[in-house]
């Protein structure tokens, strides 16, 4: 069994995989990390290997706790990948994007795949039909846009995302919702269309915390998979066992 740990910008997500099948999943705050790790190993003592992807939340002490129970691989830009990395600055490529590119390659090894991760940031990552990661884009996520409107102005309120009835807002709140939700939707559809124009038979995977919220708003054919990054980490761990 494999233990998969994704320490993102907001939450820590963990999964247990038996080969390619996820048999357990949970997410929690950093303060609960040690408690949850002990509970997972109590429930699944057959875990032999783990992988940690962290954008900065976990410190060395937290990671050392996991290594008490199993062999641990820390994902870095030196980690072996099954795809060819053609990013101009691979040393600056976030480990979350490495995991998503791996998931894209494992899911569709001989096809063109664009992964859109709608989380704290919205990232776009492209793996072509030569098995080559060629890059993508990074833009502010939904909550970041709401937060920026509130913090960078004197009077605009801080709102949480919600469905919009019409793209024309008739109040301050509905205008903010339209600007954020309609703006993200227009961005998403526009960027996907750019990739469709360049790459034949493009597969688009939408993942991340806002994947389901956005999936019903896209006009393109996409596959929503909120756990795509975790699947990529599991694939990466299996590849590095060899």
Annotated active-site residue 96? The verdict is yes
Residue 141 burial (C-beta neighbours within 10 Å; 0-12, 13-18, 19+): buried
Please list the helix, strand and coil fractions of the chain in percent, rounded to the nearest 5, in that order: 40, 25, 35
Residue 8: pLDDT band with limits 50, 70, 90: confident
Closest CA to 201 of 116, 135, 129: 129
State the DSSP string of 90-115: GGGS-HHHHHHHHHHHHHSTTS-EEE
The stretch 12-30 carries a mean pLDDT of 93
What pTM, to 2 d.p., does this model score? Answer: 0.91
Q: Which of 96, 117, 125, 210 is catalytic?
A: 96
CA–CA separation, 72 vs 74, rounded Å?
6
| Nearest partner of 194 among 104, 105, 114, judged by Cα | 114
Mean pLDDT of 23-47: 93
CB count, 10 Å around CB of 184? 22
Pairing of strands 12-18, 21-28: antiparallel
Convert the pLDDT of each residue in 68-96 to its tens digit.
999 999 999 889 999 999 999 999 999 99
How many CB atoms neighbour CB 16 within 10 A? 22
Structural tokens at position 207? 């993942």
240, pLDDT greater than 80: yes
Q: What are phi and psi of 22, to 5 degrees?
A: -80, 125
Span 200-236, pLDDT tens digits: 999 999 999 899 999 988 887 789 999 999 999 999 9
């Amino acid at each position: 069994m494999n233990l998969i740990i994704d320490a993102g910008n907001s939450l820590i997500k963990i999964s247990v995989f038996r080969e390619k099948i996820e048999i357990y999943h949970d997410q929690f705050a950093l303060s609960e990390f040690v408690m949850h790790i002990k509970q997972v190993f109590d429930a699944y003592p057959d875990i032999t290997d783990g992988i940690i992807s962290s954008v900065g939340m976990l410190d060395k002490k937290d990671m050392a706790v996991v290594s008490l129970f199993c062999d641990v691989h820390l994902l870095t830009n030196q980690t072996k990948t099954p795809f060819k990395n053609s990013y101009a600055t691979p040393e600056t490529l976030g480990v979350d994007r490495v995991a998503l590119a791996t998931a894209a390659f494992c899911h569709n090894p001989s096809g063109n795949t664009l992964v859109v991760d709608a989380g704290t940031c919205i990232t776009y990552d492209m793996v072509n039909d030569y098995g080559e990661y060629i890059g993508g884009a990074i833009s502010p996520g939904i909550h970041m846009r709401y937060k920026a409107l509130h913090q960078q102005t004197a009077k605009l309120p801080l709102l949480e995302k919600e469905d919009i009835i019409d793209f024309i807002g008739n109040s301050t709140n509905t205008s903010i919702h339209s600007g954020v939700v309609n703006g993200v939707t227009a961005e998403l559809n526009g960027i996907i269309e750019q990739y469709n124009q360049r790459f034949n038979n493009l597969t688009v995977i939408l993942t991340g915390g806002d994947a389901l919220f956005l999936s019903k708003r896209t006009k393109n054919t996409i596959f929503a998979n909120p756990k795509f990054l975790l699947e990529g980490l599991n694939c990466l761990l299996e590849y590095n066992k060899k």
